[in-house]
Amino acid sequence: MTQSIDMAKVAVLGFGTMGAGIAQVIADSGRQVVVLETDQERLAAGRARISAFLDEGIRRGKRTEDDKAALLERISGVTGVAELAEPIGPVDLVIESVSEDAEVKKPLLSEVAGVVGAEVPVVTNTSALSVTDLATAVPNPERVAGLHFFNPVPLMRTVEVVRAFHTDAALVDRLVSFVESLDKDAAVVKDRPGFLINALLIPYLNDVIQAYDDELASAEDIDVALRLGLGYKSGPLELLDMIGLDVHLHATQNAYEATRDPRYAPPPLLQRMVTAGALGNKSGRGFRVGTDEEDR
C-alpha cells in the first residue's frame, strides 16, 4: 500500500484495549499511526497488547515475525498533543478512543483539533455519547463524525460511521472508503443514543441480565441456549464479561438518560455487580468468570 492512499497518516488518541486494536488494524493497512497516551507506561502496555495479538497469529500460522515487525514499526507513540506531528509528520485523520466521559473527551478533542489543522477530520470511537455534542468542542464541526469500532477490533468486521448534525456528507463518504480499506464493512448511521447496533443490543443484554437475576437459568445455560438457539458466536453473558460490565452500565445509563426509554434502564443486578467491582474479564469476576451463582 502506498502513501498516496487517502488518510495515510492517522493519529489515535488513547492506547487502551480499543485504541490498541484500532491502531493495529490501521497499521495493518500499510498506514503510519501515531498514538497519544498520558505516559510511556501506557504506551508500552498498548504496544504489548498488539504484540500479544500478533504472536497468537504467528502461532496459528497466519502471521510471520517479519509481518509483526513491519506492523509495529508503523506505530509510534507520544505523550503530548504538541508532539503528534513529530514521529510521522502532519496527520490526515484523528481517531479519539479515550474513556467514555464527555468531560474527558471534549477538552482533548478541542486541543487536538487546534494542533492538527482546520481541515483534518476528527472522529470519535464513542459507543454511547452524542457525537453532535462532542463536535461542539471542535472548530469547524462539519469535520467531526463517529467511527464506532467493536471489540476485539482486529476480528470484528463492522464499523459504524456516525453522521452527526453538522457532519459534511463528503467526509462520510471518505470515512466509508477508509473503513473498507481496513477490510471492514461500514454501516452509515445517524447520531442517536446507541447508534444502530447498541440501540438494539443494549435492551437485549439488559433482558438477559434480568432473566439471570430472576433465576430462569444458570449463566452457562443462558449462554448455551442463546448462542446455539440464535446462532450467535458467543453467549450474551460471556459477551458482557468481555465488554466490561462497567462499560455496559455506562452505555445503558447514557441511553436511558437521553431517551427515558425503560428498555435502557440499567438492571439492578448490573448496578450491584459494578459497585462490587465485578467488571467481567478485566477484574476476574463477572457473569461467567470468578463468580458463584449465589453471589447474586
Active-site annotation, residues: 127, 148, 160, 198
For 190, the grid coordinates are: 445517524
For 223, the grid coordinates are: 449462554
With 0-12 / 13-18 / 19 or more C-beta atoms within 10 angstroms meaning exposed / middle / buried, residue 35 is buried
Segment (H or E) for 218: none
Instruction: Please give the order of strands across the beta sheet that includes 185-190.
Output: 75-78, 32-36, 9-13, 93-96, 122-124, 144-148, 158-163, 185-190
C-alpha torsion sign, points 172, 125, 263, 229: positive
Q: Is the peptide bond before 139 cis (omega within 30 degrees of 0)?
A: no
